[in-house]
Amino acid sequence: MLMYPYSHQQSGIIFENNVNNAIKNHLKVNNLLREKDIKNKYGVNNSGIDHMFDIFNTNISICIQDKWEETKSSISTVNHFIKCVQNIQLITSKQILGIFLSKLPITKNSLEAFNFDNRSLMNIRFINIHLDEKEYSLVNSTEILIDKLLIYLHLNWQLWTHDFDGSIIMR
């Protein structure tokens, strides 16, 4: 999953594909959708979500925006993600976890937007999962970030990670 010598745009596409493959291959979830599927199902204004899936036997959906960029995502990018998640929640009436998965942590203003919405919205929660500074330049940094996502989903949402043969991977 080495990202270089690709352009930043190519690296972002590769990262997005790797995240989708990790969800598809290692989690048991319902209705895994990619950005194109989300826009087709919920409208073109919901372009700020790269992955969406339901947790089995619950009324909970997880929406993920992934960013593999060399700079922190702008407040407008984060606000667009927030708006798209709010739209999905209004359409589905489900509880939603919005995960902003990024190489770098989001800005202070973006974090404040997440915290404001976490305090004011009943059925939506937002988090940012990102690399630590010491992990940025590691060859396997994309795998580290995807592992952080899978570990978070396991510890906080009881989504067990499965191997290709279907056996549970203990973390």
Number of independent structural domains in the chain = 1
Residue 125 lies in a domain: yes
How far is it, in rounded angstroms, from Cα 44 to Cα 99? 20
Helices marked H in the chain: 8-26, 35-42, 75-92, 108-120, 141-157
Residue 79 lies in a domain: yes
Confidence of residue 29 (pLDDT cuts 50, 70, 90): confident
**Closest Cα to residue 110, out of 83, 64, 65, 73?**
73
158: left (phi over 0), alpha (psi -120 to 50) or beta: left
Residue with the larger pLDDT of the pair 155 and 65: 65
The CATH number given to whatever domain includes residue 41 is 3.40.91
Cα three-residue angle 50-52-57, rounded to 5 degrees? 170
Alpha carbon distances (Å) from 137 to 25, 44, 130, 133 = 26, 35, 13, 8
Residue 148 lies in a domain: yes
Across the range 54-64, mean pLDDT stands at 91
Q: According to the model, what pLDDT value does residue 109 have?
A: 95
Residue 2 lies in a domain: no
Across the range 43-56, mean pLDDT stands at 90
Residue 3 lies in a domain: no
Written as one letter, the residue type at 30 is: N
Residue 37 lies in a domain: yes
Residue 1 lies in a domain: no
Residue 22 lies in a domain: yes
Q: According to the model, what pLDDT value does residue 27 have?
A: 83
Q: According to the model, what pLDDT value does residue 162 have?
A: 64
Longest pairwise C-alpha distance within the chain: 43
Residue-range definition of the domain harbouring residue 152: 8-169
4: tokens are: 């270089």
